[in-house]
Amino acid sequence: MRHTVEFVLFPDAVGLDITGPLEVFNTATVLMERGGQTGAGYMARYTAINKGPVRLSSGLEVMADTDFEDTVPPDILLVPGGTGVENALRKPGFVEAIRERSRQAKRILSVCNGAFFLAAAGLLDGRRATTHWRTADDLAQRYPQVEVMPDAIYIRDGHIYTSAGVTAGIDLALAVVEEDFGATLALEVSRMLVLYFRRPGTQSQFSAPLKTQAAAGKRFAKLHDWLVGNLSHPVSVEQMAAFTAMSPRNFARVFKARTGMTPNKFLETMRLDRARELLAAGNDSLEHIAEACGFGREERLRRAFLRRFQVTPSQFRLHFTPS
């Protein structure tokens, strides 16, 4: 079947919140048509308070071809975010229109701080949701009835899907394609758009080492640089403590207090990031990559990959293999 995706427009919405998912849905449709599945996929339409051009934050103008009085309900309602969210929240009738439109839609998606519209409409009450990491605390404070998951790429709770900032909308759209038409099509869409293999919704919004560096500040910056140069070697907590001129016990306590992560968890994250780079860059054997990243054996790399990313190293590499 062909699903109607209705994109909600408002001034100063982020263009990529709209065009990212749009390209995913359109590419899926094109691929299905090429495969002989005529009439399947997705059809987009654009809705605003009033029909006509709507200027996004980048200056791009998108034509709203329908308004909220349209009597044909969408299959999927997608609400973007952007710098214009606060103004739109105060616009008379806008939140009410989204609330009413959401009653008609089979599935409701938000990208970035578009989640604030759903929360203001009461749609997220008692549900888990996420948003851009910069606005997660604000969402939780303003709408305490929402269980905010600040580190997730996207969250599905029933028929409502919320996603993190900007490019996370692409991950969410790929997840919807997989849900509707299967993992094979979703993978082919990601390859056509030269995207990484779709990130699981529970994956952190940004690189864990970068997050840890920000949390740790300058205190452990030199340790991080030393670890980068020694990922292929066994490294113990005692060695890390000695590098920082601290006792192992005090180092482990201070490191976790400053970063929210144990030293061993931090090191494993760095090893996994290096493994992903090597998997994407070439054809080295999994055994060689496991050794280069400090896992020692392929099986240890595989277990760590599955635990963190919910895919095997071979499945991750498949995305970068030419058709």
Show which residues are catalytic.
112
Q: At what angle do helices 208-216 and 221-228 cross, to 10 degrees?
A: 150
Number of H helices, E strands in the chain: 15, 11
Q: Which residues pair with 159 in a beta bridge?
A: none
Give the type of residue at 192: M
Distance (Å, whole) CA 207 – CA 193: 22
Burial of 99 (0-12, 13-18, 19+ CB in 10 A): middle
| Range 5-35 burial, b when 16+ CB lie within 10 A, else e | bbbbbbebbbbbbbbbbbbbbbbbbebbeee
The C-alpha atoms of residue 49 and residue 66 are separated, in whole angstroms, by 9
Choose among 115, 111, 117: nearest CA to 128: 115
CB 155 within 8 A of CB 128: yes
> Exposure pattern of 182-214 as b/e (b: 16+ CB <10 Å)?
eeebbbbbbbeeebebbbebebbbeebbebbbe
β-strand partners of 42: 3
